[in-house]
Amino acid sequence: MDSFLTITAAILLVGSLSSTASRQFDTECYTANGEDYRGCQNQTSLLGGKPCLFWNETFQHPYNTLKYPNGEGGLGSHNYCRNPDGDVQPWCYIADHEDGIYWRYCDIPTCQMPGNLGCFKDSGDPPTLTGSSQTSNKLTIQNCISFCRKQRYTLAGMESGYACFCGNDLDLRRHGKAPSMECNHVCFGDHTQPCGGDGWVIVFDTRVGACGGNYSAPSGVVYSPDFPDKYGAGKVCYWTVQVPGASVILFNFTFFDISDQTDMVELLDGYTNQVVARFDGRTPPREVVNVTGDFVILYFYSDRTNQAQGFAVTYQGGFTHTHTHTHRQTHTQTHTDRTNQTQGFAVTYQGKRHVDML
Ligand SMILES: *[C@@H]1O[C@H](CO)[C@@H](O)[C@H](O)[C@H]1NC(C)=O
Ligand SMILES: *[C@@H]1O[C@H](CO)[C@@H](O)[C@H](O)[C@H]1NC(C)=O
Ligand SMILES: *[C@@H]1O[C@H](CO)[C@@H](O)[C@H](O)[C@H]1NC(C)=O
Ligand SMILES: *[C@@H]1O[C@H](CO)[C@@H](O)[C@H](O)[C@H]1NC(C)=O
Ligand SMILES: *[C@@H]1O[C@H](CO)[C@@H](O)[C@H](O)[C@H]1NC(C)=O
Ligand SMILES: *[C@@H]1O[C@H](CO)[C@@H](O)[C@H](O)[C@H]1NC(C)=O
């Protein structure tokens, strides 16, 4: 705990916090591949998409409610797009068979994790992101982000599954945003992650998955180190969340995958360093945590074994003169069971894609 106090003291001493743009999240997904999507889109695309089949009527296929009767992967008596098998994005079965394909990816505008800025056309001349680049047959979203972050770029883009581009500016008007489906080539280094397409670049904020950072916007999201890859061994990370004028800061863990009992996340009062909440594999967060005051330190520690995907936590400053926090405190939704299901469920990968892979 010595080093912990020293680092905390250092954070407190320097004390000046970089500001991040204020941002509200209207997303329904916090994972890169939408495995946490529980929304209600029931067709493959909002414009001219195909209707999805009901999961309680797809008994001829590997994913259905008979095989997964307890809501595993979000399946149920509905026809909403889901990603129960750790694919690169939510999908559903459809009625038509075209070239033997009986399922389709869903393009879901509301399912884009914060930090994923979208899918953009890249003509290559000039490239959409003009900084450093590299190619790798082990590319993952996070190793591209890390490559760009280390060189102090704010944006990282992946293309064709193996190419990584860095940059600081993304002219959205010039490079109009494309449907996410254009960017769902799998990353060569992790087949559950989307890494762009041929001539399409998927762009991320390089703060995603950083080990530490400073947040001062009224709301934001913090991802565990290396997200969406598994967090590394022996990580010790601190993030400061200081929201000027806030009387309380609410923390909502929208994704939590830590199986180890020694790996942990803590929330500390930023002034007293008192631990307000502690979560690990045995005691996952079950409800929104509200911390009184305007300054919180988020701490993450991992040991040498049992790495997992980690967490996504949103925070929201509450101000006594408005009533935002009052209404938020009434929600105490838990995501524990979802995380549990996802963990035990990722095994069954084969099957759905069987046909079109032949
Ligand atoms: C999809 O959901 C909408 C709204 O809930 C409903 O009106 C529509 O009939 C559904 N479509 C299909 C194909 O189930
Ligand atoms: C599947 O669920 C829908 C919605 O609850 C229901 O209308 C339909 O009858 C169910 N199908 C079967 C085969 O149970
Ligand atoms: C956060 O702020 C502290 C204190 O100003 C600084 O030492 C640290 O480098 C900052 N961290 C990041 C990731 O910007
Ligand atoms: C916490 O996040 C989940 C989304 O993962 C959302 O459904 C829920 O309403 C949030 N709770 C609060 C109090 O904002
Ligand atoms: C949240 O804040 C309310 C009062 O503002 C308090 O009664 C409650 O105990 C707090 N909950 C947690 C988990 O800290
Ligand atoms: C989590 O899953 C395990 C099996 O994988 C099960 O034994 C345990 O009861 C589950 N816990 C919860 C809270 O559902």
Cβ atoms within 10 Å, residue 354: 11
Distances (CA, A) of 157 to 76, 196, 224, 314: 35, 8, 20, 23
How many angstroms separate the CA atoms of 122 and 138, rounded? 22
- Residue 348 confidence (pLDDT) above 70: no
Confidence band of 10 (pLDDT split at 50, 70, 90): very low
On the 0-12 / 13-18 / 19+ scale of CB atoms within 10 A, 96 is exposed
Average pLDDT for 282-295 = 95
H or E element that contains 343: helix 336-345
Average pLDDT for 228-256 = 96
CATH 2.60.40.420 given to domain 213-318: no
| Best residue for ligand 6 mutational test, from 72, 340, 347 (most atoms within 8 Å of Cβ) | 340
Closest CA to 203 of 308, 107, 130: 130
What residues flank ligand 5, with Cβ below 6 Å?
289-290, 329
Confidence band of 240 (pLDDT split at 50, 70, 90): very high
- Residue 327 confidence (pLDDT) above 70: no
Give the ranges where 151-203 is alpha helix by DSSP (H).
none
Q: What sign does the dihedral 271-272-274-276 (CA atoms) show?
A: negative
Chain centre distance of CA 261: 22
Judge if the beta carbon of residue 176 lies within 6 A of ligand 1.
Answer: no
Nearest CA to ligand 4 atom 7: 333
Architecture of the domain whose range is 26-112: Beta Barrel (2.40)
DSSP state of 6: H
DSSP state of 272: T
Nearest CA to ligand 4 atom 3: 254
- The pTM of the full predicted model, rounded to 2 decimals, is 0.80
Task: Kindly list the domain boundaries of the chain, sorted by start residue.
Answer: 26-112, 116-205, 213-318
pLDDT digits (tens, 9 = 90+) for 199-209: 999 999 999 99
Q: Give 176's contacts (C-beta < 8 A, 6+ positions apart).
A: 120, 121
Judge if the beta carbon of residue 339 lies within 6 A of ligand 4.
Answer: no
